[in-house]
Structure 1
Amino acid sequence: MIRTGLNLVLAALYAIAGCLHIAAPRPFMEIMPGWVPAPGAVVLWTGIAEIVGAIALAQPWSKSLRHAGAIGLAIYAVCVFPANINHFAIDMATADGGLGLAYHIPRMFAQPVIVWLALWAGGVTDWPFRRRR
């Protein structure tokens, strides 16, 4: 019951984020590391990836499709981590500190949790809740 609820919440959040990547890409472009080629295309395709992953994660009919969506979203969360680090660096370099450490430090620690949450909510892993035999 909890897993299903978190699955749907996570899918909804990824779908919203994906729509924002497509409809309002500017904030995502601003935090893109300079070494990323074709940043506009990357933001567009990351938005599409989030939406497709959210649909796969939320559908109740195919366990393998749900697992694929969960794995895809976990990989996605790993791949966008450089943008989160870059955002942290950009903000800390501003005179006012941008969003500040109270935002960025929890965000840095949350990223691995988000990776795990996608895998757990999608049923790919039971860790750390599996029962010992």
Structure 2
Amino acid sequence: MTDANRLRRPLLFVMGPLYVVAGVLHFVVPELYVQIVPPMLPAPLALVYLSGIAEIAVGVGVLLPRTRRYAAWATAAVLLAVFPANVYMATHGVVVEGLPGGGDPSEVVRWGRLPLQGVLILWALWYTRPRPEQRRE
């Protein structure tokens, strides 16, 4: 078993709660998220709530063995769906009012979120495959 495969299960228990917390925050402070919804998209608040529901669902789903693979695919889809908000935030220098510590994420943070999405997608896709010990040779 490789070192990466040893981390697979513990990282699952980081991933799931991370998405649940992120999803809950969409309901606790929706105004933070509404600000980064690209203006060309309709009903920003509804999209924030829908993405919050989706994040909670995938966070719970990856923790359950029966739904893990589907939830991992759904996680990748959610990350792709919210990617335009990250692009909008980076390219338009969006100042997020009400953000703890001030409302202006640095340019490094705004642009750094874009490749981070790729890492998060790869992390989710890791759970779409059976564990190495379950694979047939």
Structure 1 contact 119–125 (Cα < 8 Å) conserved: no
Aligned equivalent of 2:109: 103
- Give the whole-Å Cα distance in 2 for the aligned partners of 1:41 and 1:105: 25
Secondary structure in 2 matching 1:71: helix
How far apart are residue 104 of structure 1 and its match? 2.1
Shift of 1:92: 6.5
Amino acid at match of 2:15: L
Match of 1:26 in 2: 31
What amino acid does structure 1 have at the position aligned with 2:42?
P
- 5 Å-filtered alignment, 1:61-76, equals 62=66, 65-76=67-78
* Code of the aligned partner of 2:115: F
RMSD between aligned alpha carbons? 2.1
**Separation in 2, partners of 1:67, 1:28:** 28
Does the Cα contact within 8 Å between 1:21 and 1:44 map onto a contact in 2? Answer: yes
For 1:94-133, what aligned pairs fall within 5 Å after superposition?
A: 98-120=104-126, 122-124=127-129
Q: Which residue matches 2:7?
A: 2
Deviation at 1:88, TM superposition (A): 1.2
SS in structure 2 of the partner of residue 80 of structure 1: helix
Residues 92 and 100 of structure 1 are in contact (CA less than 8 Å); yes or no, is this contact kept in structure 2?
no
AA matched with 2:36: I
Q: How many residue pairs get matched?
A: 120
> In the alignment, residue 72 of structure 1 is paired with which amino acid?
A
Structure 1 residue 21: deviation in Å?
Answer: 0.5
State whether residues 70 and 124 of structure 1, in contact with CA within 8 Å, keep that contact through their aligned partners in structure 2. no
Specify the SS of the correspondent of 1:51: helix
Identity %: 31
- TM-score, normalised by the number of residues in structure 1: 0.81
